[in-house]
Amino acid sequence: MTLILTGSQTVGPFFRKGLERPQWSDLTTEGAAGQKIHIAGDLIDGQGEAVPDGLVEIWQANAAGKYAHPADAQDKPLDPHFRGFGRVCTDAQGRFTFTTVLPGAVTDANGIVHAPHINVSVFSRGLLKRLITRMYFSDRAAENAADPLLQSIGHDDIRHTLIGTRLDDVAAVPTYRFAIILQGDGETAFLDV
């Protein structure tokens, strides 16, 4: 029997063709309750170059801190106008944007409160499986200081990679800047889930 070696297969770069849904970048179109926000991000590879063919997904709780999922047993109101899930392809400069609502704090099954955050998944060429991280909010320092996941990260420089920076303190719809660096200097902290 002759052994034939085949090349490894990575995810992508077919996202735009098969998965792009531009309308999924705005989670507020159905009239979601809460403070509307924008997330403006960049997806950067290990050489510091933009990733023009990536896909970013978000999953988050509503403004009250409840997920639109049957496993969320918190005694908090469910917003029927907020699905909590979004998806967007990066553009030619590796940028992505979402419009959503500021999530509320979430209490987990053990009664531990997590600071407001957005769960982020990244798909890109060269990856065998998605990368998962979180985005917290720079203007929620007190809540972030008590968050169990953030506090489990021993280095401030690494912890900082999970913080979305608010760009303007007076805008009616705040914008948070969040860079996702896949590798190298300033690499985003990814979760092992």
Could you state, in order of their start, the residue ranges of all structural domains in the chain?
21-51+65-181
In CATH, the number for domain 21-51+65-181 is 2.60.130.10
C-alpha distances in angstroms, 115 versus 53, 112, 146? 31, 10, 7
DSSP state of 2: -
Looking at residue 114, what is its pLDDT? 98
Looking at residue 171, what is its pLDDT? 78
**pTM of the full predicted structure?**
0.89
Digitized pLDDT (tens) for each residue of the chain, 193 residues in all: 666 665 544 555 555 555 666 677 999 999 999 999 999 999 999 999 999 989 999 999 999 999 999 999 999 999 999 999 999 999 999 999 999 999 999 999 999 999 999 999 999 887 888 999 999 999 999 999 999 999 999 999 999 999 999 998 777 899 999 999 999 999 999 999 8
Looking at residue 11, what is its pLDDT? 53
What is the β-pairing status of strands 55-60 and 36-44? unpaired
3-state SS, 52-117, equals CCCEEEEEECCCCCCCCCCCCCCCCCCCCCCCCEEEEECCCCCEEEEEEECCCCEECCCCCEECCE
Handedness of CA 94, 178, 175, 99 (dihedral sign): positive
Nearest to 57 by CA among 17, 100, 93, 92: 100
